[in-house]
Amino acid sequence: MKQAVFVIGNMDCPTEEALIRKRLASVPGIGELAFNLMERRLTVDHTLPDEQPILGALREIGMQAGPAAAQPGACTRCEADGAPAVPAKTWALMAVSGIAAIGAEILAWSGAAEASAPVIALALISIVTGGLGTLRKGWIALKTFTLNINFLMSVAVIGAVAIGEWPEAAVVIFLFALAELIETLSLERARNAIRGLMAMAPETATVRLDSGEWVERPAAEVGVGQFVRVKPGGRIPLDGTVTAGASAVNQAPITGESMPVEKAPGDPVFAGTVNERGSFEFRVTANKGSTTLDRIIHAVQEAQGQRAPTQRFVDRFARYYTPAVVVFALLVATLPPLFFDAAFQDWLYKALVMLVIACPCALVISTPVTVVSGLAAAARHGILVKGGVHLENGRRIKAVALDKTGTLTHGRPVLTDVVPLVERPADELLQMAASVDAHSEHPVAAAIVAAWQAPGRALLDVADFESLTGRGAQGRVAGRLYYVGNHRLVEELAICGPQVEAVLQRLEREGKTAVVLATEQEPLCVLGVADTLRGHSAEAIRDLHALGVVSVMLTGDNPTTARAIADQVGIDDARGNLLPEDKLAAIDELIARYGTVGMVGDGINDAPALARASIGFAMGAAGTDTAIETADVALMDDDLRKLPRFIALSRRTSQVLWQNISLALGIKALFFALALAGKATLWMAVFADMGASLLVVGNGLRLLNAAGSKTKA
């Protein structure tokens, strides 16, 4: 069995996947098919002598297919580098289509006949510029007996034209084409997210040769066991273990930790993380393609692939509804004249009335109008929803997992405590600590300096400053040596008595980083630095609980810090020390327990969990590009209260959707009965169809006034 991989430029959703499956099923020699909509890849197992029959079958159904080299872990870009996902020409044609459709509606509403030349001309312009692709796909679907949503839309447009509803035909085809473009853009954003992950690790590394010389080499050529050197401010190219030197490394891209982690010989380092200061060497433990960052990339791709989009209700319904109506109308037209000697013209007329009533315009338009209204209402409240399917599925959320740093907290350390240990004013002690730390680049030191600095508050002169790697810093003020450092430093100075221990333990239990200002003889004060809670985090959690949603914290910070923050905001379950793969496993566990699960995060380390969750939420302003692009919903101003508002809006949208679907089908069922009884005429059928459309549109537009508030609807 051979395997062929194809890139299909216009394969973006399950509709194309179903069409391809049906067509290739009839080609002898083809076995398993594997689809990757994220990368627009199709993998085919086959026993054919060459790939031409597969390419021919794909091109027969309008697929832009070409062979591609199978490169595991790579994200294939179907468009040329730098080319937009949707070309400017397509946007221009869509603009013309929309303007022409609106123009036709305005003319009709202002008194012009819907079958008048100006109205027909504008409608034709709209259909040609915006809908030819849909009509072409509808024709292919008909030829292959795949009655999908493209066929349904084609029937809707042709039916509207046949009964003279030209403006309606134009508006329906324009809305559907616009929805298809939005879906294409959404997938392209996700592809860009994976490209952004791949670009995090540098392409080159400074490697030590056997001769002892240091040379620049492509990271892909560096093997396990070789030694690499990293300069201050540089990104680490590969996973490894530190062998010489020391520094602080920003591991937020991997672990999500809010503070840089001190690294010394024996400590692990990860590809894609940033060396804050100092130079060090490490021995490579994973080559390119196998690093922690590569695993994150793979997890994102796999999680995206496992989350098959929810097939649209109308598409499923059309599989039975449209053929059934056509067959039923044919039977109505033929059986009574053949078997009951009824008048053929009378029953043909009844069949035509049924086909007109069956025009799915109201049904088709009800979903996009309702969803677009819901999306617009969400956007008004700073909630960016990347597709109607996420808005519809939000109502099913039973549990929400939340990252800590940058989601529940601000992601920026600030000074929270100054605890004097001697009889000196707290401000004097803070000034002393800030003066020494002003020469340090550590984020904790920056928080202490920022807490002191204000107009009129000067720093003291410091001499003989020295950074004490992994412990803190020291410097002389007025000839006396002062230390500002961590627990380890005061133990080395042999001044860590019971009073200091008690304060340090208390601050650490509260989830804070504790540092001590001291001389060689005694500790002077303890300072607490912490990543502070966002102002509305507790309120957001209360609102989630009011909606019956369980809250879970997933963080790379230690369990003590995680539990302290969880207690402050009222979270049900807190889990700490989690790497990206651990968060992914936690999401799988929550999905198994609750079904539909949301994940809220802001960091690259959250990307796999965001992708695997039923709905991923990114904290928009503070989040990394990868987290935002991978997520399905972005809370644009970082207000976590928008999460319960989104769920409430989703529940309201679902109610309106089912109201509209029931309304459209109910009216059609009523007029079917009237048609069979001979009480309905063609003009009544047209009125019923247009009336149903207007009703569902009006009902859907009510969502524009939805406040997205904390309703329990």
- What are 345-370's pLDDT values in tens digits? 778 767 766 766 765 656 666 676 67
pLDDT tens by residue, 504-560: 988 888 878 889 999 999 999 999 998 888 888 999 999 999 999 999 999 877 687
Per residue in 577-618, pLDDT tens? 888 888 999 999 999 999 999 999 876 677 788 888 999 898
Q: For 621-632, how does the pLDDT look when each residue is reduced to its tens digit (9 = 90+)?
A: 544 555 556 678
Residue from 12, 315, 403, 531 carrying the catalytic annotation: 403
The span from the CA of 216 to the CA of 55, in Å, is 43
Q: Which of 127-131, 173-177, 305-309 has the highest mean pLDDT?
A: 127-131
For 63-80, how does the pLDDT look when each residue is reduced to its tens digit (9 = 90+)?
888 887 544 444 444 343
Residue 13 confidence (pLDDT) = 62
pLDDT tens digits along 323-339: 787 788 788 888 988 88
Q: What percent of the chain has pLDDT over 90?
A: 27
Q: pLDDT: is 183 or 505 the higher one?
A: 505
> pLDDT at residue 491 above 70?
yes
Higher pLDDT, 620 or 247: 247
Tokens for 694? 């207007």
Domain range summary for the chain, segments of one domain joined by +: 2-67, 204-290, 382-409+535-646, 422-521
CA distance 690 to 46: 50
At residue 606, the pLDDT reads 78
Mean pLDDT of all residues belonging to the chain: 80
Which residues lie below 8 Å from residue 403, measured CB to CB, with a gap of 6+?
256, 553, 554, 555, 600, 601, 602, 603, 606
Separation CA 242–CA 285 (nearest Å): 10
Superfamily for domain range 382-409+535-646: HAD superfamily/HAD-like (3.40.50.1000)
Give the per-residue pLDDT at 553: 93
| Dihedral sign, Cα of residue 419, residue 422, residue 428, residue 433 | negative
8-22, 176-190, 221-235: least confidently modelled range = 176-190
Active site residue 50: no
Asked if CATH classification 3.30.70.100 holds for the domain at 2-67, the reply, yes or no, is: yes
DSSP assignment of 641-691, as one string?
A: THHHHHHHHHHHHHHHHHHHHHHHHHHHHHHHHHHHTT---HHHHHHHHHH
Average pLDDT over residues 115-136: 89
95: Cα within 13 Å, side-chain hemisphere: 6
pLDDT above 90: residue 244? yes
Question: Rounded CA gap, 155 and 145, in Å?
Answer: 14
User: How far is 410 from 156, CA to CA, in rounded Å?
Assistant: 51
Q: What pLDDT is recorded for position 344? A: 79
CATH 2.70.150.10 at 204-290, yes or no: yes
10-14, 186-190, 490-494: range with highest mean pLDDT: 490-494
Is pLDDT at 379 greater than 50 in this prediction?
yes
Q: Distance between CA 647 and CA 549 in Å, rounded?
A: 10
Identity of the highest mean pLDDT range in 446-460, 540-554, 651-665:
540-554
Please state the pTM of the whole predicted model: 0.58
Average pLDDT value for residue range 256-283? 84
Class of 422-521 in CATH: alpha beta
Non-local CB neighbours of 271 within 8 Å, separated by 6+ positions: 200, 201, 236, 237, 238, 239, 286, 288, 291, 292, 293, 294
